Amino acid sequence: MSNKLLLSVIVVLLITNVATMLLWKNDRSDESIVEDEEVDTQKPVASIGGTEISFQDWMKSLRESYGKKELKTLIDQEVVKKLAQEQNITVSEKVIERDIALLTTMQGLTTEEELKELEENWREDIIYRYQLEAMLAQDVQVPEEDVQAYFTKYDNQYQFSESFQLSHILVANRETANKVYEELEAGASFSLLAKEYSIDEDTRENGGYLGFNSSSTEFIPSNYFDIAKGLEEYTYSEPFVTSNGVAILFLHKKLPDITFSYEELKPYIRNELALQSINQNLVADPLWEKFDIEWVYDE
């Protein structure tokens, strides 16, 4: 992956994580904030050696620390959304899916519900980022040959290879594998059984977790991928013989190949190169002048 693309993906993660932490997002009141946290607004939120910190002091500190930044983020998002609608700037669904796949591989184990929520947040941030990039790059000229040369150099790094998020239980013989499989069928936890039975010392304490892997990896047996392709997500295999013993495989998540032609990537590469050429950071400030914006931090 090119440094530019990797940095963009990391920025999306940071934006998402920061947005999750900001308590008053979506214009929530103080009362609604604490309903989720089960805090009594009439009582101190902390007491240190007889000195109390009130709920109001806590809220004031949060606003002073994060309020301006979060409000600016909301304005930026609305500015970009309005301009994108006016100018019909859209983002390829394949590009969105590719970026979501990349972000997914950076996650640890999640439930289906947790991953769905993450994907919804990522989608919004990805669309915002690419639309903002397109607007900032609109008036910058980039030679076609530069775009083609960049694609030729970094082509493989823009593609996404089929990946599997796996856990396994590796045991020494078929008898033990059958015993483990029977316990799984009876409803036992895969991760707990891995900690109890697996002979793979590198993954045993993590419940047999192997992370995301593509078929090109050399770190796990090749027949794992043949087995994984036949599994549904969040299901496990029957015992099978592998090079290191007898294994039972759990498939958490399967991500498909996502490949692009030059024509599909050209506008996105052009925008990247345009912003690089003028040393433009990915911020919406230059777009504010297109609207009559008033906010509480105006001097």
Residue extents of the structural domains in the chain: 3-159+263-290, 163-255
Identify whether the C-beta of residue 247 lies closer than 8 Å to the C-beta of residue 168: yes
CATH of 163-255, one of 3.10.50.40, 1.10.20.10, 3.40.50.1980, 3.40.50.720: 3.10.50.40
Please report, in tens digits, the pLDDT of each residue of the chain (299 residues total).
Answer: 444 444 444 444 444 444 443 333 344 444 444 444 567 788 888 888 888 888 888 888 888 778 888 888 989 999 999 999 999 999 999 999 999 999 999 989 998 899 999 999 999 999 999 999 999 999 999 999 999 999 999 999 999 999 999 999 999 999 999 999 999 999 999 999 999 999 999 999 999 999 999 988 888 898 999 999 999 999 999 999 998 999 999 999 999 999 999 999 999 999 999 999 999 999 999 999 998 888 877 75
Identify whether the C-beta of residue 39 lies closer than 8 Å to the C-beta of residue 45: yes
Q: What pTM was estimated for this model as a whole? A: 0.78
Gap between the Cα atoms of 190 and 210, Å rounded? 13
Gap between the Cα atoms of 214 and 156, Å rounded? 14
